[in-house]
Amino acid sequence: MAERRLERRDAVGGIVVVRVGFPEWPPGAEEWRCPFRILGLGDDSIQLARSVDSIAAIQNAIRGIYRKLVQSGVPLRREGFDDDDENDTGFSLEADRGWGLAFTQRIEQMILDEEAKLPGPTRERQKRKARRKAPAKPRMRTISDAERPRWIAERKLVRCDTVGSIIMVRLSYPESYADENVWKCAFTFEGLDDDLIYFSHGDDSMGALQKALRGIRSKLVQSGVPLRWALSGLEENDIGFSMEADRGHGLAFTRRIEQMILDEEEKYLQRSMRERQEHREARRKARAKPQPK
């Protein structure tokens, strides 16, 4: 469905190819799965990312690729990019949603705060550089029925302001323009925006897919409609689409944000361990307390 070519920057050299397949629900399975594969790092086996809906399976596949590339320890960069983009694979660390909505929102606010600290001229220069590389904002087009995309993944969202109202988010697979070296990936919202079809663009198929996922989040936030992922136990505004650092601010900024995320996760982990230890200690003391006769 989507791929990206990376250059090895070590003594071995050569090209690493990253691929993501279509999400699927095999017969007898209990969840969606999405295959991904990394060729050129030694382990060419097909990996499977799993989740409760087809879009989440794709998201987990992209996160899995990021982890595998980092774990390999091989210096990589996107094929054809400048020397100052070394180690920029186009895959970013995201906050672990397993820590809950409050943690995710805290990380998102930290990203916004860090972006606000950037000098104004620097922000503008970086944004212009990002726009030159590829259009970041999703574009809307009128298309014929023959051109209508084939949707391969979806997510059901519940409107929190209207009882029983559902919004379906649908995602297509990346396609290339016949006369341009640009990829597009379509998405739409059934029940929102009059079902318009949007296109995100990238300089490779993986980039178009990633920008479509970011574009979905951006449009949902801009709508101002209170939503939540249609899964039991989730809170309002937990839609399953995370904010990422704007890559237009440069690799150093992205790496700083990633380190902040890791530091926050470590704090939450240590706090959770202390709370469990205190809970166990309280139960032990309660059991040891003499019972009245």
Q: Where are the domains of the chain?
A: 1-91, 97-251
Which are the contacts of 150, defined by CB distance < 8 A and separation ≥ 6? 172, 173
Residue 273 pLDDT greater than 90, yes or no: no
The pLDDT score that the predictor gives to residue 82 is: 66
Please report which confidence band the pLDDT of residue 83 belongs to, taking 50, 70 and 90 as the band edges.
low
Residue 136: is its pLDDT beyond 50?
no
Q: How much of the chain exceeds pLDDT 70, in percent?
A: 78
* Joined tokens for residue 196: 């318009």
Please calculate the CA angle 256-258-264 and round it to the nearest 5 degrees: 105
Which has more confidence, 167 or 280?
Answer: 167
Q: Is the pTM of this model over 0.95?
A: no
Tell me the pLDDT band of 11, cut-offs 50, 70 and 90.
Answer: confident
Considering only residues 180 and 66, tell me which one the structure prediction assigns the higher pLDDT: 66
Q: Tell me the average pLDDT of the chain.
A: 82
Assess contact for 34 and 19: CB atoms under 8 A: no
Q: How many residues does the chain have?
A: 293
- Exposure of 232 by Cβ count < 10 A (0-12 exposed, 13-18 middle, 19+ buried)? exposed
Handedness of CA 126, 131, 133, 138 (dihedral sign): positive
Burial class (CB in 10 A: 0-12, 13-18, 19+), 95: buried
Which of 203, 204, 210, 200 lies closest to 244 in space, CA to CA? 210
Whole-Å CA distances, 70 to 88, 133, 151, 173: 11, 24, 31, 26
Say whether pLDDT at 53 is over 60.
yes
Q: Is the pLDDT of residue 5 over 60?
A: yes
Instruction: Give 20 or 145, the one with higher predicted confidence.
Output: 20
130 versus 30: the higher-pLDDT residue is 30
